[in-house]
Structure 1
Amino acid sequence: MSLSLGQLWRYPVKSMAGEHVDAATLTRLGVPGDRLVWVRGPEGVRTARRQYRLLGLHATLSSDGDALVNGHPWDSDEAAALVRAAAGEDAWLERAPAGHQFDILPLLVATDGAIASFGRDVRRLRPNLVINGVDGMDETTWEGATLRIGPSAIFLDSLRGRCPMTTVDPDLITRDPEVLREIGRRFGGRLALNAAVTRGGRIAVGEAVHLER
């Protein structure tokens, strides 16, 4: 099995659509620029699990490394209006405290074999890394293994239990609850792997990936 890094993603605003990148220097907090900002309401952080229209907003990084929402600075009036329309009039954007912006671990690692088995757009899974060259659902045997990409090392902790965000079509921004039921029936509710960076370093799409079990 010859593995390579097929895709690399970051999501500058939590629960919004993200962006492809060609390379990144991993740190203990994962991909730089990931989940810099989140959406809040009076009750706390709001996510696309309930406010699914947030996935229709596109978050990118500016040239100076700060988050943009549909091309607008995250702290602008324009971005604020977009977020209120998507997540409620009492929603606002706020910079996320470093280390607290992740639901589980800083990285989510998906594999091309599992994506093919899933049969739907990879964006529904919101991975940071997609590993190519994986046979079928072999990722289900990867818990506790380590990926080495260039100088970096990534510990694969556990398979990710999937949530309602997978039910949202990333282009139409419509929901289909059957998607999550299908993940439950076919994959035990789990796709892709929660992961942590144990050694930082620069990684790039196309690089060889070594799996150490």
Structure 2
Amino acid sequence: MVTSVAALWRHPIKGHGFEALDRVQLTEGCTMPWDRRWAVAHDAAQPEADGRAWAPCHNFSRGAKAPQLMAISTTSDEAAGTVTLRHPQRDDLTFDPDQDAAAFLDWVRPLMPEDRAQSARVLRAPDQGMTDSAFASISIINLASGQDLAARLGQDLSPLRWRANIHLNGPAPWAERAWVGRTLRIGTAELELREAIIRCRATAANPATGARDADTLGALQKLGHQEFGLYGVVTRGGMIAVGDTAEII
């Protein structure tokens, strides 16, 4: 079966929503444009989480600690510099993350567990984006692996649980585990597949409801690991689009 791009996604605010794209221009050494452009530091964050450089994910509000965040979807207006957030329990909010942090913090507060660190400030990420990796990465998943995991759990699993940028259709389940060190070519763009993604409890939450309803980590551990998907680094820029053929070289 031919490997192809089934979907493209970005996440303008780390841990706070997913946004579908039809096509996107990739640039060497950069994340997907507007992916993890902002991050939300909580009130127990370390001083390192000041927006001047990349910081580890434990400094930020995210689905591993606040599962309702997983049900946020987004639409961005790059020209206006705004993001619209949607959640089944909240009215829509359109705001400028650089200017309207107070409005956002009021909006998100009811979605945060009371026994967890509370969202405190919105940071503009450095140029690389505030990804979970310490390098400027683009995340890739194989949809067949997700379908295999769903079958093992006996329930549907939305691919959106994995918060990936590129969804691939075509490879056999778990084929991607042999791809580290190889190159993914889509059109003229190329990505070095650098390392596997170690998953956290965020993936237990349903992106339609925000409820934890699947033991994704337990299912992975039964396979002998806690990995799902790969981090890639753009080594050659180019336009990629849904439906494009992808090749592992």
Answer whether TM exceeds 0.5 for this pair: yes
In structure 2, how many angstroms separate the alpha carbons of the residues matched to 1:13 and 1:51?
Answer: 15
Tell me the SS of whatever aligns to 1:17: coil
Report matched runs for 1:1-213 at 5 Å: 1-27=1-27, 28-44=29-45, 45-64=60-79, 66-70=81-85, 71-73=93-95, 74=97, 75-76=99-100, 77-87=102-112, 91-99=120-128, 101-104=130-133, 105=135, 106-119=137-150, 120-176=157-213, 178-186=215-223, 188-212=225-249
Q: Give the aligned residue type for 1:110.
A: I
Deviation for aligned residue 1:99: 2.1
Deviation for aligned residue 1:130: 0.8
Aligned to 2:51: none
1:66-89 deviations in Å (ceiling 9; x for gaps): 341424113434322112333465
Q: TM-score, normalised by structure 1?
A: 0.91
1:74-127 deviations in Å (ceiling 9; x for gaps): 343432211233346552322222225111142110012212112211011111
In structure 2, how many angstroms separate the alpha carbons of the residues matched to 1:18 and 1:192?
Answer: 17
Query: Larger deviation: 179-188 or 104-113?
Result: 179-188
Residues 90 and 190 (structure 1), Cα distance of their counterparts in 2 relative to 1, 3 Å cut: closer
Extract unaligned runs of 5+ from structure 2: 46-59, 86-92, 151-156
Residues 10 and 67 (structure 1), Cα distance of their counterparts in 2 relative to 1, 3 Å cut: farther
Query: Larger deviation: 55-64 or 187-196?
Result: 55-64
Q: Give the aligned residue type for 1:102.
A: T
Tell me the SS of whatever aligns to 1:183: helix
Deviation for aligned residue 1:140: 1.3
Report if the CA contact (8 A) 2:31-2:128 is conserved. Answer: no
Tell me the C-alpha RMSD between the 2 structures: 1.9
In structure 2, how many angstroms separate the alpha carbons of the residues matched to 1:68 and 1:79?
Answer: 10
1:47-69 deviations in Å (ceiling 9; x for gaps): 22212222233233114163414
Aligned length in residues: 212
Tell me the SS of whatever aligns to 2:202: helix
Structure 1 residue runs of 4+, over 3 Å off?
Answer: 87-90
Extract unaligned runs of 5+ from structure 1: none
